[in-house]
Amino acid sequence: MDIETPPTEARRYGLGLVNLASPRMGTKIHSVSDDFFAEAPRMLQDTIPVFVPDKFDDNGKWMDGWESSRRRQGGHDWCIISLGEPGVIKLVDINTAHFTGNYPPGAMVEVGYSLDGDINKVEWHTLIEHVNLGPDAHHLLESKYLSTVNLVRLNIFPDGGVARLRLFGDVQRDWANQKNDIVELSALRAGGTVLGYNDAHYGDVNALLSEGRGLTMGDGWETRRRREPGNDWIVVQLGTSGFVDEIEIDTAHFKGNFPDKCSIQAALVEKGFDVNSAENWKELMPKQSLSADAIHKFKKEIVNDFGPVNAIRLNIYPDGGVSRLRIFGKAL
């Protein structure tokens, strides 16, 4: 399974942005005007879009994305997306990979918010004004509307195919009513974000913060085999600042390649996240042994209490794979 990483321009735009359009966030297709050639949910997949020359289905050429039929009666096609978590969208990537003679010449993105998800109550705002699209390319576009939304309407003019839609931004969660509860501070759907890592040769780093147990060995973070001294690491920004109460590390499906040990460092970063400085953060949890294909729960007794934190660095020794990381605690 090849997982797509943001284009270089998107990574430069700002570390810490979450793809709000990912199914890992609970995001789904609400409705679509037409997806005759390729079903709209494919457009949200986290994988890299592929082209299979000889693959056809009952409707014609199979394409990895959303593709409508050729429009003959005027108008344009659209797809409405229901975000799993409300958020502020800062950057949009409309990717027409492999769509060459069937890409839409233009697109426009609208957004809105509905507490109960009722489309009829939505006041639509322009997120991305009408732009020209080209074939087989990423189109990275800055948002024109920086308010909380949970519904997105992608309009394409007049028809055609989009391989992937990415909506990079920040999760907006009201933590006020959860301050006395033990919650998963690191969860992707709570705004947890991977800020950086030294290696991620296999798998999907965002899977590390996702719900449920990993489905396969590819559903997690895995590094290459380390042939030099040192250890591998990954840095995560928590969804909110909080006091850590318990840590869970799951090595599901990692049997001959789980890390021998792990440790965790943490910090409360006031301004900006310098991933390279994380190696100097305080030790939140000393080295602990790990085992194959197992959930490891590390209770409060072994977690060092030095106040609230909003970022952690998971160290694995010397290398290997981790399916899930969960940091539980109370929001500040």
Residue 329 near residue 264, CB atoms below 8 Å? no
Task: Kindly state whether residue 1 falls inside one of the protein's structural domains.
Answer: no
Q: What is the residue range of 94's domain?
A: 8-171
* pLDDT of residue 85 exceeding 50: yes
pLDDT digits (tens, 9 = 90+) for 224-252: 999 999 999 999 999 999 999 999 999 99
Q: Which of 123, 148, 171 is the last residue of a domain?
A: 171
pLDDT of 106? 98
149 and 279 fall within a common domain: no
Task: Kindly state whether residue 3 falls inside one of the protein's structural domains.
Answer: no
pLDDT digits (tens, 9 = 90+) for 95-130: 999 999 999 999 999 999 999 888 998 999 999 999
Q: What's the count of helices (H) and strands (E) in the chain, helices before strands?
A: 1, 23
125 and 209 fall within a common domain: no
320 and 192 fall within a common domain: yes
- List Cβ neighbours of 100 (8 Å cut-off, separation of 6 or more): 135, 136
User: Distance (Å, rounded) from C-alpha 52 to C-alpha 67?
Assistant: 15
User: What is the residue type of 95?
Assistant: N
- Position 16 confidence tier, pLDDT thresholds 50, 70, 90: confident
Task: Kindly state whether residue 2 falls inside one of the protein's structural domains.
Answer: no
Tell me the whole-structure pTM to 2 decimals: 0.92
* pLDDT of residue 325 exceeding 60: yes
First and final C-alpha spacing in the chain: 38
12 and 159 fall within a common domain: yes
97 and 138 fall within a common domain: yes
Query: How many domains does the chain divide into?
Result: 2
142 and 186 fall within a common domain: no
Please give the average per-residue pLDDT across 160-185, as a whole number: 94
286 φ, ψ (degrees, to nearest 5) = -70, 170
The SS3 of residue 139 is strand
154 and 278 fall within a common domain: no
Task: Kindly state whether residue 144 falls inside one of the protein's structural domains.
Answer: yes
pLDDT digits (tens, 9 = 90+) for 27-67: 999 999 999 999 999 999 999 999 999 999 999 999 999 99
Residue 129 near residue 144, CB atoms below 8 Å? yes
183 and 306 fall within a common domain: yes
13 φ, ψ (degrees, to nearest 5) = -60, -35
Give the rounded percent of residues in the chain with a pLDDT score beyond 90. 89
Q: Tell me which DSSP letter residue 278 carries.
A: G
CATH number at residue 42: 2.60.120.260
Tokens of 93: 């990537």
